[in-house]
Amino acid sequence: MNFLLENWILFVIAATSGGLLVLPLLRTGGGSGSVGTGEAVRLINREKGVLIDVAEADEYAAGHAGGARNVPLGQLAGHKSLPTNKTLPILLMCPTGARSRRAAALLRQAGYEKAVVVAGGTSAWRNASLPIEKGAAEKGAAKAGEKTA
């Protein structure tokens, strides 16, 4: 008992750090609201997951995950780029992750069962050495058309 009284500050620090480790899991509902980059790639490859970047057009053009569709958060509701099959995994990302969390909540309310956030967003994608593309999708398609014409 004397040991506990003499080292009470160490026990407080240990309890606090343990609580801080558990806090992110509690905020995301046990971690089911977000996936890491490895799990995101698995969902894309094995379950036909759709990667959607909810950044604004200029942010998207500056750098986005390879193969990601750009649907800005303000235009998300009913956008034609969203899959009609609401059971497919939808992986949402943005540069910081704040908008993608809001987008995931909106899509879950709209009936998309597997709308999840890619944890860390575009920077985590880049740090995992996954493909990053630059430029807007529409501009890239127009340039490809010009070369063949």
Residues with active-site annotation: 94
What own/partner pairs with CB < 8 Å and gap ≥ 24 does 42-50 have?
A: 43/89, 43/91, 43/116, 44/89, 44/91, 47/88, 47/89, 48/88, 48/89, 49/88, 49/89, 49/90, 49/91, 49/114, 50/82, 50/83, 50/88, 50/89, 50/90, 50/91
